[in-house]
Amino acid sequence: MTRYSILDRSLVRQGHDPAAALRDTVRFAQQVEELGYHRFWVSEHHSVPGVAGSAPTVLAAAVAAATDEIRVGTGGVMLPNHRPLVVAEQFGVLESLYPGRVDMGLGRSVGFTGGIRKALGHGLEDADAFGTQLEELLGYFTGGQSAYPGVHALPAEGLRPQAFVLAMGSGADLAARHGLPMVIGGGPRMLEAVGRYRSAFRPSAWAAEPYVMVAVNVAVAATEREAALLQLPEAWSTVRSRTSGAFPPLLPAEEIARLELTERERAFLDEARKGQIHGTEREVAVALDSLVASAGAEEVLVTMNTYDLDRRLDSYRRLASIR
């Protein structure tokens, strides 16, 4: 049976502050654990007013402390922003406190603007060092780290939080080379990347076989229109980020639906909603079965967020019923 998991970015809602978004994330993790979801991941974003998720390992610790069995992790920690030694130590602490429940999702994204990158202490070229950073990080757990002789990440050494590579750019090739599971979004190059990954995969201490998790925005409701409305708030904030340079707090879907959009905004909205899946339980089941089959995926990572928390939970409850 295909596993279903969740990535929550702790998006801020209009009229609420970032602290409320973080508390909502922890409470949401407790709710979806009861629904039987396999993993609950949090993300890393910096200097984005509408996103409260900026410190994923800290938030993951809060989620793990508030739950009992669901796997908890990051989607992901962006290695260009951190020293691998520090990342290893943080996940070593998490795995020590919550053994067998910790996922270490790793990405290569850098800050969206020059100012953010400067504040983080790196530039665009640092994303090119992801492969070297990944090798160093994994070595701290296996004891094979060779970049700094005599340096050990404690308590990480000897532990195995489950590592994943977020397969952007050459990520699929790096995941295969290091024998790691990978996470990939649906898109025109998904099948090509998955094919490369499976053919080049080398078994490792981290995974004996290839493992593909497909990330997709999914909304389920009583009608197709209701499901589409659930995805509108996040898509609209994405549009605003493209047109104004800022990702604002989520607005109610009904308020957005009443707006008179320009042609440019409409085009950005269509782009933001591309690849999303929405509909009734039956419609979504068919679409997800097709996506999983085409990618040969072992797992689906669902990323849907919306303004109304009760409607969001209802969508995930409906999705859990069709797994």
**Mean pLDDT over the full length of the chain:** 93
Q: What was the pLDDT predicted at 168? A: 74
Q: How far is CA 262 from CA 61, 126, 175, 247, 253, in A?
A: 43, 37, 41, 18, 18
Q: How far is CA 285 from CA 302, 316, 321, in A?
A: 13, 13, 10
Can you spell out the DSSP letters for 121-139? T--GGGGGGHHHHHHHHHH
Q: What is the pLDDT of residues 174-190, one digit of tens each?
A: 999 999 999 999 777 89
Q: What was the pLDDT predicted at 126? A: 60
Comparing 167 with 162, the larger pLDDT belongs to: 162
Query: From its phi and psi, is residue 169 left (phi > 0), alpha (psi between -120 and 50) or beta?
Result: left
Q: What was the pLDDT predicted at 49? A: 86
In whole angstroms, give the CA distance from residue 172 to residue 293: 19
Q: What is the pLDDT of residues 165-223, one digit of tens each?
A: 998 767 899 999 999 999 999 777 899 999 999 999 999 999 999 999 999 999 999 99
pTM for this prediction = 0.95
Q: What was the pLDDT predicted at 68? A: 98
What is the domain partition of the chain in residue ranges? 3-216+281-321
In whole angstroms, give the CA distance from residue 112 to residue 120: 11
Burial of 218 (C-beta count, 10 Å sphere; 0-12/13-18/19+): buried
| DSSP-H helix ranges across the chain | 18-34, 56-66, 84-97, 114-120, 130-142, 171-178, 190-200, 224-244, 253-257, 263-272, 281-295, 309-321
pLDDT > 70? residue 125: no
Q: How far is CA 220 from CA 47, 150, 291, 311, in A?
A: 31, 52, 16, 9
Q: DSSP 3-state helix, strand, coil percentages of the chain (rounded to 5)?
A: 50, 15, 35
DSSP 186: -
- Average pLDDT, integer, range 300-315: 97
Q: What was the pLDDT predicted at 120? A: 80
Q: Class of 3-216+281-321 per CATH?
A: alpha beta
In whole angstroms, give the CA distance from residue 156 to residue 159: 5
pLDDT bracket for residue 110 (50, 70, 90): confident
Q: What is the pLDDT of residues 244-286, one digit of tens each?
A: 878 999 999 999 999 999 999 999 999 999 999 999 999 999 9
Give the whole-number percent of the chain exceeding pLDDT 70: 97
Q: What was the pLDDT predicted at 189? A: 82
